[in-house]
Amino acid sequence: MRQSKYFLKTSKTTPADDLSVNAKLLEQGGFVQKVLAGVYDFLPLGLRVLQKIENIVRGEMDKIGNEMFMPVLHPKENWEKTGRWSSLDVLFKIKSQHGNEYALGPTHEEIVTPAAQAIISSYKDLPMAVYQIQTKFRDEPRAKSGLLRGREFRMKDLYSFHATAEDLEEYYNQKAMPAYGAVYKSLGLNAILTEASGGTFAKYSHEYQVETENGEDTIYVCEKCGLAKNKEIFSPTAPLPFAEASGDTPPQAGGEAPQCTNCGKTTWRETKGAEVGNIFKLQDKYSKAFNLQYTAQDGSKKIVLMGCYGLGTTRVMGVIVEKFHDDKGIIWPEAVAPFKVHLLALKGGEEKAGEIYQALLKAGVEVLYDDRDTSPGTKFADSDLIGIPYRVVVSAKTVEKESVEVKKRESDKAELVSFDKLTSVLNQK
Binding site for Mg ion (CB under 5 A): 275
149 near ligand ATP, judged by CB under 6 A: yes
Pick between residue 88 and residue 360 the one whose CB is nearest to Mg ion.
88
Coil, helix or strand for 200? coil
CB of 17 to ligand ATP, least distance (A): 17
CB of 40 to Mg ion, least distance (A): 21
CB of 205 to Mg ion, least distance (A): 8
Distance CA 391, CA 415 (A): 11
CB of 278 to Mg ion, least distance (A): 5
Site string (78-97) toward ligand ATP, x via CB under 6 A: --------------------
Omega of the bond leading into 71 within 30 degrees of 0 (cis): no
Distance CA 266, CA 251 (A): 10
CB of 84 to ligand ATP, least distance (A): 12
Partner that binds at residue 88, options Mg ion, ligand ATP, none, CB closer than 5 to 8 Å by kind: none
Question: Applying CB under 6 A, which of residues 20, 22, 283, 314 lies at the interface with ligand ATP?
Answer: 314
Partner that binds at residue 329, options ligand ATP, Mg ion, none, CB closer than 5 to 8 Å by kind: none
CB of 196 to Mg ion, least distance (A): 6
Pick between residue 109 and residue 275 the one whose CB is nearest to Mg ion.
275
153 near ligand ATP, judged by CB under 6 A: yes
275 near ligand ATP, judged by CB under 6 A: yes
CB of 215 to ligand ATP, least distance (A): 9
- What letter would DSSP give residue 304? P
Which of the ranges 19-27, 55-63, 275-283, 333-341 carries the binding residues for ligand ATP, by CB under 6 A?
275-283
Closest CA to 348 of 389, 404, 406, 388: 404
Coil, helix or strand for 310? strand
DSSP strand E in 286-380: where?
293-295, 301-303, 305-312, 325-326, 329-330, 341-345, 367-370
Which backbone phi and psi does 359 adopt, to 5 degrees? -65, -40
Number of Cβ within a 10 Å radius of residue 254:
12
Q: Does residue 409 contact residue 387 with C-beta atoms inside 8 Å? A: yes
279, 285, 286, 287 alpha-carbon torsion, rounded to 10°: 110
Which of the ranges 181-189, 310-318, 333-341, 377-385 carries the binding residues for ligand ATP, by CB under 6 A?
310-318
Q: Does residue 103 contact residue 80 with C-beta atoms inside 8 Å? A: no
Pick between residue 105 and residue 277 the one whose CB is nearest to ligand ATP.
277
Q: Does residue 21 contact residue 325 with C-beta atoms inside 8 Å? A: yes
- Give, as ranges, the residues between 21 and 40 that touch ligand ATP (CB under 6 A): none
116 near ligand ATP, judged by CB under 6 A: no
Question: Applying CB under 6 A, which of residues 3, 107, 212, 283 lies at the interface with ligand ATP?
Answer: 107
Partner that binds at residue 167, options ligand ATP, Mg ion, none, CB closer than 5 to 8 Å by kind: none
Which of the ranges 3-11, 79-87, 147-155, 167-175 carries the binding residues for ligand ATP, by CB under 6 A?
147-155
CB of 107 to Mg ion, least distance (A): 11
Pick between residue 125 and residue 217 the one whose CB is nearest to ligand ATP.
217
The secondary structure of 315-329 as a DSSP string is HHHHHHHHHSEETTE
Question: Applying CB under 6 A, which of residues 278, 383, 398, 403 lies at the interface with ligand ATP?
Answer: 278
Partner that binds at residue 277, options ligand ATP, Mg ion, none, CB closer than 5 to 8 Å by kind: ligand ATP
- What letter would DSSP give residue 175? I
Q: Number of residues in contact with ligand ATP, rule: CB under 6 A?
A: 16
289-313 in b/e form (b: 16+ CB < 10 A) is bbebbbeeeeeeebebbbbbbbbbb
Q: Judge residue 234's burial from the number of C-beta atoms within 10 Å of its C-beta, 0-12 exposed, 13-18 middle, 19 or more buried.
A: middle
20 near ligand ATP, judged by CB under 6 A: no
- Give, as ranges, the residues between 323 and 342 that touch ligand ATP (CB under 6 A): none
The secondary structure of 16-64 as a DSSP string is TT---HHHHHHHHTTSEEEEETTEEEE-HHHHHHHHHHHHHHHHHHTTT
Site string (226-255) toward ligand ATP, x via CB under 6 A: ------------------------------
Distance CA 340, CA 388 (A): 6
Q: Which residues contact 209 (CB under 8 A, 6 or more apart)?
A: 191, 192, 194, 215, 217, 219, 228, 230, 273, 274, 275, 276
Distance CA 131, CA 333 (A): 26
CB of 287 to ligand ATP, least distance (A): 18
The residue ranges that bind ligand ATP (CB under 6 A) are 107, 138, 140, 149-150, 153, 155, 275-278, 310-312, 314-315
